[in-house]
Amino acid sequence: MKLGQAQLHEETDYLLVATILNQFSELLKTETHLEIPQVYDELTTWDILAMELKEGVTIEKAENFSIDTHNRIIERLVALVLKELFELRVMQTDPNYANFRLYEQSQKVIVFDFGATTKIS
């Protein structure tokens, strides 16, 4: 199996994705500016990922936020990347817009998908 195919297979194995989400939730629990939805392990199967609904807005809607809010959100996303890289030594490698939502008022960043991750030596 080619590398890309192996990664796609891992991203669609929802038992694996649930495990990684739970691990990241534990690793990032002290990060008050981030939220990771709770996984419902008892409802999750190989092809169904059951997790808590989060109601924030999409990143595209952030264009309507103030520049101060933009800056805080960017700071939080960059801090997450640096924490993954230098502290956790594991990084989410699929940072597309669909994997994030935002709470405008609290400026919290919601991260949904850690299915594509890589360990860093």
∠ CA 27-113-54, rounded to 5°: 90
Element (H, E) at 111: strand 109-111
Q: Active site residue: 41, 68, 94, 113, which one?
A: 94
In the residue annotation, 94 being an active-site residue is answered as yes
Strand, coil or helix: 68 = helix
CB neighbour list of residue 47: distance below 8 Å, 6 or more residues apart = 12, 14
Q: Annotated active-site positions, please?
A: 94
